[in-house]
Chains A and B, each alone.
Chain A
Amino acid sequence: MGEESADFLPCSSRPTRRNRIKFLLGGGVIALAVIYLIFTATQSTAAYFFTISELHARGEAVYDRYVRVSGKVTAAAIQFDPRELVLRFQIADENGQALSVVFHGPKPDQLRPDAEAILEGKFDGKVFTAQTILLKCPSKYEEEKGIVEEKVEAVR
């Protein structure tokens, strides 16, 4: 580009220093804005991991929050209405605490008794309405440590 002029005059130091302050200020404002964005977005979107017992213990404080809860699918009570696409099942933690779950969507293949389920959604005190179901089943790949994951999402 031929736009450059041969400007060999030494710059006086004052405007440069003023520039520097301007740049630092500008950069600072951007940094603060980004930090503010991160902070507020984290607060409003973070989904806390709870065990079923914790979820019950927290009571109303978590009723309208998007949370993540995990447990094992219990053998009884897997009901699926394929016409209306309503799936109801229960999960339980090691203490035997149970949680009733409803999910609006197709039934995932891996949803079997004893599968480890990680649910995201909201709890209203009675039923947990799951937005996503992540199921982990033991897998043959990568020896016993491996897992097969299946993730399904409800439609908005």
Chain B
Amino acid sequence: MAADLGYVALLLAFVLSIFAALAAWWGERRHIIELVLSARNGVLAVAGSLTLAVFIELLLLLNHDFRVMYVAQVTNRAMPAFFKLTALWGGQAGSLLFWSWLMALFATAAVLSGWQRTRTLIPKVIVVTQLTLAFFLSLISGVWALLASPLKALGMTTGAELMAEMETFTPFYQLGLTPADGNGLNPLLRHWGMIIHPPLLYLGFVGFVIPFAFAVAALSTRQTGDLWIRVIRRWTLVAWLFLSMGLLVGMWWAYGVLGWGGYWGWDPVENAALMPWLTGTAFLHSVIIQERRGMFKVWNMVLVMITYSLVIFGTFLTRSGVVSSVHAFAQSGVGPLFLGFVAATFVASVLLLFARLDSLRSENMLDSLVSREAIFLLNNLLFLAIFFVTFWGTIFPVVSELFSGQKAIVGPPFFNRVNGPLFALLVLTMGIAPLMPWRRTSLGKLARLLVWPVLAGLVTTLGLLVVPTLRQFATLPGTSLRIVPVSTFYGLLVFTLVVIGQEFWRGVRARHRVTKESYLSALSNLVQYNRRRYGGYLVHLGVVMIALGVIGTNFFKVETQRNLAQGESLTIISPLTGTYRVTYEGLISASVAAEDVRRTAAVLKITRGGQFIGLLQPAQDFFIAQEQAMTIPAMYHSLAEDLYIILAGWENGGATATFKAYVEPLVNWLWVGGLVFIFGTAVAVWPTQAEKRRAAVAASASGHAVAARS
């Protein structure tokens, strides 16, 4: 009953989204204001009925209504209520419903907030967002199954089968009989990281649809001036903020839960989220050039379009199983439909771009290689290069099979080897860019600003090259330290750090001199009145800290594994602090809050340099209903490093047990840097007082204009 209602709400949203798109398109074309208004109401109605659908799905999940297939797939009776709610995005159909709901909310926000200031763009924004939404809703409302019999009649049996399968691919599909219990949520997903990771990622994905919609609207109506760029900047930043948080939380989850001592494996699903982030970041930088100098207009359009395609492609990658991945999502008929949609929208946007090339003439030319524009161009090339490398590596299995008939993959060594140097160059441009004035500068002027940062960077690199302990460490077995790249990379980081510090110092000193404020309030006012600029620097500071951790874990990581009898110990040498000794004291069975989980933990005594520092309890959780074991790593945290231990197995009731131990140097800088990064983005996104005032004035002015016209 409730499931039927939910399904009707879903179908209604699907129909309404198509209606809104058509009404907006036709209304704009024929100048029928009533139709455009009706389209706007349609957008609201779509959001409303999807909210209802999500609400009903949550009720079904809470009430373990196992007649609904989706509910039976992702929940069981023993699960705590909280996880039942989060099971909304624990499976494919549910997560697509969730995606669509977020999309509808974003579309509503974009249409309502842009209604006054960007009225001329709104109809096309409605068309793009609602068509995208209609595609997603078509997947989960079972409408593709209608194609099954026509396809069969045409003799296309595979296609017909795939389409017929789509009938069950809705979160409201009901089974003929009610199973006694459901399967439960994959244990790996029962972690707060996995609870907030998908929503953040989806908010990021969905958010990038809005800039694309405005871009298409601006292009097709030839309003390619300042208007759309101003509108989408904040939308892009918001989407980017969520995507960044999603990536960081995902890494944190992988590190804390998956138990392999790493946080990033260049897995297709990870790459799927990284790729739109890369192109989106490139756009955030190059759009500044368009605002300041009226250049790179075509380039910016291309970036927005690629990012949109990558967002859809990313959802496709995670939901189709076309590239084998460690993430446990299954193969399904959703794949071909997604690919078709990505291809169609990409081709359509490229055609639109070509048809409108004349309205995207650059207002200025690049004046000099030594200018901020040139550095931004280099930065964009690097982001695109990293994107392309990642893309190539991700689709390589498909490509190689297509062209050589032999399936092959490239793993982390490929990505690290190619992207590593590119990231290093990116850090360099990040450091230099703030020092570069617009248009052109003399090399002498630049040199004066560069003295201290370059000096600091060089001292760091040379210093690291001659540190004897590092050299000794590089020769130890089980380590992968290569001195030259590490020293270079850290030199670049210090260079960038000094540039950022210098920028803050110059700003604070100037303010202090002019306004006679104390240094501290000069700093806070400086940031407050130039949120974009100093927020950006804070983001860069976060990146430097993240890089510190990434390089540390990539080059200094130590790992070892041993089978220990009770009372025996293993040792692991840290490159930064001292030698850890890990002694196995025995096995205990511990209790866990969830009733369907049995935990077995090993008690380990840890000393460092002979000093006792604590007990660690790495564990294995056994999920009774799923007959699945899950390792729970134990960690000893410090700013210098983590000691990370996994219980890999045991024999004879715990008389002996196997452990893997890792020393993860500087890894916590990654998480702290992530927080700084997010804080910086928030600073940049937050509207300044001046912007708020301007927005209010603009809104009332256009309100008057509308009133005057009508």
Contacts and interface: CB of A to CB of B under 8 A. Distances in A.
Contacts of B563: 82-85
B413 A45 contact: yes
B330 A34 contact: no
B578 interface: no
A22 B369 contact: yes
13 contacts: A16-B366, A23-B366, A26-B369, A38-B388, A41-B414, A42-B414, A82-B649, A106-B658, A107-B649, A141-B74, A142-B73, A149-B326, A151-B260
A104 to B, nearest CB: 8
Contact of B73 (A7, A143, A148): A143
A147 B660 CA distance: 26
Contacts of A83: 563, 656
Chain B, interface size category, equals 35 or more
Given A4-B438, A47-B409, A140-B626, A145 B418 contact: no
B488 interface: no
Contacts of A82: 563, 649, 651, 656, 658
B676 interface: no
B608 to A, nearest CB: 21
A47 B388 CA distance: 20
B367 A11 contact: yes
Interface stretch (B29-37, B121-129, B274-282, B400-408): B400-408
A156 interface: yes
B85 interface: no
Given A3-B437, A155-B559, A48 B407 contact: yes
A37 interface: yes
Interface in B51-105: 73-74, 91-92
Given A45-B410, A120-B411, A140-B626, 6 more contacts: A38-B389, A48-B407, A141-B183, A142-B91, A142-B330, A156-B478
A145 B381 contact: no
B165 to A, nearest CB: 10
B541 interface: no
Interface in A113-156: 120, 134, 139-143, 145-149, 151, 153, 155-156
Contacts of A151: 260, 326
Interface string A76-116: 00000011110000000000000000000111010000000
Chain A, interface size category, equals 35 or more
A143 B168 CA distance: 11
A92 B102 CA distance: 47
A58 to B, nearest CB: 11
Interface of B: 73-74, 91-92, 183-184, 186, 260, 326, 328-332, 365-369, 374, 377-378, 381-382, 385, 388-389, 392, 396, 400, 406-411, 413-414, 417-418, 421-422, 437-439, 478, 480, 559-563, 626, 628-629, 648-649, 651, 656, 658, 660
Contact of A148 (B328, B559, B560, B660): B328
A147 B330 contact: yes
Contacts of B183: 140-141
B660 A106 contact: yes
Nearest to A67: B408
A37 B326 contact: no
A46 B410 contact: yes
B374 A23 contact: yes
A139 B408 CA distance: 26
Contacts of B365: 11, 16, 19-20
A45 B411 CA distance: 7
Nearest to B90: A141
Contacts of B562: 85
A46 B396 CA distance: 9
Contacts of A19: 365-369
Nearest to B364: A11
Best-buried of B410, B421, B439, B559 by chain A (most CB within 10 Å)? B410
B479 to A, nearest CB: 9
A63 interface: no
A37 B478 CA distance: 27
